[in-house]
Amino acid sequence: MARGVVEIEVVPQSLHDLIHKIRHEINTTLHKCCDDHPFFGRIKRPDKVAFKVEFGLQTSINHSLFATNGTVQITLDARHLSVCDPGPCGRPRLDKVIYHELGHFIDARIDSAFAYDDAIRPTAHPDELRAMYVMWDSFIDGRLGLKAPYSLQERQKPAKTAALRKLACLAWNGGLKTFPDIVAAAKCATVGTGT
């Protein structure tokens, strides 16, 4: 063997075991988080949701097809899985991340009081979109309590201005309760930032 070259043989059985463990962790976590999600206290849970899970660089949820075919797509950063990163790492564990992502889905597609509307997403204005997520993420984690993946201080970190940090705090404490409120606040928070 040449110097510096490492030959690795992947034994098919061990790969199979790893895939099985990953599937099991995702399945059991999704079921648990759907069963005891705090937002379902006052909102009727949907009869059926088909989750499709894929891996990507960042964890996110896409619920845009839910009304059409009942599916919700979750993209997972695999580093939240305990089988991929079993040591203490400072990253929130999978269940907290899933509670948060489901929060976006429940707010947007199940809870009519949130008044979510795809048409008013500030997709053409990146700063407004980022500000919108700082507030929506804060609103979700504020309601998740101990199940939240991040603290208010962590949610405020991407905020470039004191005004947006203040609005994140307001959202965390339930002072911005609807999507139109959050979008309007995102617009105000980015006025005059010059981007």
Q: Interface with Zn ion by CB under 5 A: which residues?
A: 137
Residue number with CB closer to Zn ion (21 or 121):
121
Q: Which of 181, 147, 151 is nearest to 169 (CA)?
A: 151
Rounded Cα distance, 131 and 164, in Å: 7
Nearest approach, Cβ of residue 27 and Zn ion (Å): 22
Q: Where are the beta strands (DSSP E) in the chain?
A: 50-55, 60-62, 71-76
- Shortest Cβ 109–Zn ion spacing (Å): 14
> Measured from the CB of residue 103, what is the shortest distance to Zn ion in angstroms?
7
- Of 95 and 137, nearer to Zn ion (C-beta) is 137
Considering the complex, state which of residue 21 and residue 177 has its C-beta at the smaller distance from Zn ion: 177
Tokens of residue 114, six digits: 């949130």
Question: 154-159 long-range contacts, Cβ below 8 Å, gap at least 24?
Answer: 158/130, 158/134, 159/131, 159/134
Q: Which is nearer to Zn ion, 83 or 152 (CB)?
A: 152
CB neighbours (10 Å) of residue 90?
Answer: 4
Nearest residue (beta carbon) to Zn ion: 137
Q: How far is the CB of 190 from Zn ion (least distance, A)?
A: 18
